[in-house]
C-alpha cells in the first residue's frame, strides 16, 4: 500500500485529490487540491453549492506516521450557499473551524488526554503542551455543541477546592447520567446565576429535582431560577454536620477532663469510636465504647442521639418522618448539649427541604465520588494554573462528551 493510498483511506477524500507529496526536514507535507467540476458542501449546512473562489493556502497538522510529523496543505474554497444565503467556506473532512490541527489529530490527542497528563501526551506525540490543550478545547467545544440536555431532570450541586487559599469551583452534575454538566470558579450566588444563564430557561424548566448542601447563596438562586424543581438537601452533608456536632462535644468534654486531671483521660484517641458506624468498629473499639458508655459523659448522650437520628432515614412516608423528626428535635433540644441543640435548630430551619428527600430520594453520594475524580484529574497534572484550563480538563474527562467524528479511527 502506497502513502497516497493511506492518505485517501484515512481522510476519506471524495471531493479532493492528492496533488503531490513532498518530504522536508520538518516532516511529510501532503498537498491536496479540489476535484474539478464538483459541487462542494457548505461548512454550515453541508448543502452542496457551486465554488466561488479560493482562500489563502493553509496548513494543518496531521497524525504522525511512524513518528514522522505529517502536514496537510490546501487552499480552502468558498461556495455560494443558497440555503445559508451567503458566501461560506467549504466543509473539509480533515478540518474543524479555524484550528490548525487536523481533525484526526484532535481526536487522537484528546483521547489520550483523558487518560494521561497533558505533558506526557505532548511528549509522546512530539507536540507542545499548548497543542494538546488546543486539541482538548476543540473536542470539548464539539461535545458541548452536540450534547443533549433535554433529558436532564435531576442535578446535584457541590463545590471543590481547586488549590490552596480557599479557591473553590462549583460543579453541577447530572445525577442520572453521572456526568459533569458545568463548572465555574467560586461558590457565590453569582456563580450559580452564571450556570443558569448559560444553560438557558428551557433547561431550568425541565428540572424535577436539585440536590445541594445547605449553602444559602445556592438555595436563593435555585428558588428563583428553578422554582418548580424540588429542592433536596443532601443527606451526606446533613450527616456530616451531625458528626461535626458530636465531635465538638467530644473536644469540649476532653478539655474539661484535662483541666481536672493531668493524667491521660479515657477520651484521648477516641474520636472515630464516636463517629464510625457501630458495625464498622473493630473489636478493641467496641470494648472501649462499652467502657466509655458506662461513664456519665455528655459525649455518650450525643452518641446515642446520633444513632437515634439514623432511624429518620428509614421512613418511607414524609408524614411519618416528620413525626419522628419532631420527637428527635425534642430530645436534642432538651439534652443540655449545645452542639446537638444547634444542630437540631439547623434542621428545624431547613425542615421542609430535608423532608423533600422522601418525595425525591436523591443525594450527592455520586457527586462526592465525581468530586474525587475531579481532584484526581488535577493531581495527575500537578494542578492547573488557570480556572479555564481546570474547567476544560474536568469537562473533557467527566462530561461524557461526544468526540469529533472522523472517517478513520486512529486509536
- Please give the mean pLDDT across all residues of the chain: 86
- Residue 410 has a pLDDT of 63
pLDDT given for residue 407 in this prediction: 64
pLDDT higher than threshold 80 for residue 195 = yes
Query: Is residue 407 within 8 Å of residue 14, measured between CB atoms?
Result: no
Each residue of 61-79: pLDDT tens digit? 888 888 788 888 988 888 8
Strand partners, 49: 40
| Full-model pTM | 0.78
Give the three cell numbers for residue 251: 473536644
**Domains contained in the chain, CATH given:** 1-95 (no CATH), 154-234+363-380 (3.30.420.10), 236-358 (no CATH)
What pLDDT, in 10s, does the model give residues 22-35?
888 888 888 988 88
**Residue 302 and residue 245 in contact, taking contact as beta carbons nearer than 8 Å:** yes
Helix (H) or strand (E) holding 62: strand 58-65
Distance CA 111, CA 135 (A): 10
> What Cα–Cα distance (Å) separates residue 323 from each residue in 200, 214, 343, 351, 355?
39, 22, 18, 12, 11
Amino acid at each position: 500500500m502506497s502513502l497516497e493510498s493511506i492518505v485517501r483511506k484515512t481522510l476519506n477524500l471524495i471531493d479532493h485529490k492528492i496533488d503531490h507529496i513532498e518530504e522536508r526536514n520538518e516532516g511529510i507535507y501532503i498537498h491536496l487540491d479540489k476535484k474539478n467540476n464538483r459541487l462542494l458542501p457548505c461548512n454550515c449546512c453541508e448543502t452542496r453549492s457551486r465554488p466561488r473562489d479560493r482562500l489563502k493556502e493553509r496548513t494543518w497538522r496531521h497524525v504522525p506516521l511512524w513518528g514522522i510529523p505529517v502536514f496537510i496543505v490546501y487552499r480552502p474554497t468558498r461556495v455560494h450557499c443558497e440555503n445559508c444565503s451567503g458566501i461560506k467556506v467549504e466543509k473539509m473532512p480533515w478540518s474543524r473551524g479555524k484550528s490548525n490541527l487536523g481533525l484526526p489529530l484532535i481526536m487522537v490527542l484528546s483521547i489520550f488526554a483523558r487518560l494521561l497528563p497533558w505533558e506526557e501526551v505532548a511528549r509522546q506525540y512530539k507536540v507542545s503542551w499548548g497543542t494538546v490543550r488546543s486539541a482538548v478545547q476543540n473536542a470539548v467545544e464539539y461535545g458541548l455543541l452536540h450534547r443533549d440536555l433535554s433529558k436532564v431532570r435531576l442535578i446535584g450541586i457541590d463545590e471543590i477546592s481547586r488549590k490552596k487559599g480557599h479557591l473553590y469551583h462549583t460543579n453541577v452534575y447530572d445525577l442520572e447520567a453521572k456526568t459533569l454538566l458545568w463548572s465555574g470558579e467560586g461558590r457565590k450566588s453569582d456563580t450559580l446565576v452564571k450556570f443558569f444563564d448559560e444553560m438557558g430557561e428551557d433547561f431550568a424548566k425541565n428540572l424535577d429535582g436539585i440536590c445541594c448542601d445547605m449553602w444559602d447563596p445556592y438555595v436563593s438562586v435555585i428558588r428563583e431560577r428553578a422554582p418548580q424543581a424540588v429542592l433536596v438537601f443532601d443527606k451526606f452533608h446533613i450527616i456530616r454536620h451531625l458528626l461535626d456536632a458530636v465531635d465538638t462535644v467530644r473536644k469540649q468534654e476532653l478539655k474539661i477532663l484535662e483541666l481536672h486531671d493531668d493524667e491521660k483521660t479515657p477520651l484521648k484517641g477516641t474520636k472515630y469510636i464516636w463517629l464510625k458506624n457501630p458495625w464498622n468498629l473493630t473489636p478493641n473499639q467496641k470494648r472501649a465504647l462499652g467502657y466509655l458508655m458506662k461513664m456519665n459523659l455528655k459525649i455518650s448522650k450525643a452518641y446515642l442521639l446520633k444513632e437515634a437520628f439514623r432511624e429518620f432515614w428509614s421512613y418511607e412516608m414524609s408524614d411519618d418522618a416528620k413525626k419522628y423528626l419532631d420527637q428527635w428535635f425534642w430530645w436534642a433540644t432538651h439534652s443540655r448539649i449545645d452542639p446537638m441543640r444547634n444542630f437540631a435548630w439547623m434542621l428545624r430551619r431547613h425542615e421542609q427541604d430535608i423532608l423533600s428527600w422522601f418525595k425525591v430520594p436523591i443525594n450527592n453520594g455520586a457527586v462526592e465520588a465525581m468530586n474525587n475524580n475531579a481532584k484526581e484529574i488535577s493531581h495527575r497534572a500537578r494542578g492547573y494554573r488557570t480556572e479555564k484550563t481546570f474547567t476544560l480538563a474536568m469537562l473533557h474527562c467527566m462530561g461524557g462528551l461526544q468526540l469529533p467524528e472522523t472517517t478513520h479511527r486512529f486509536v
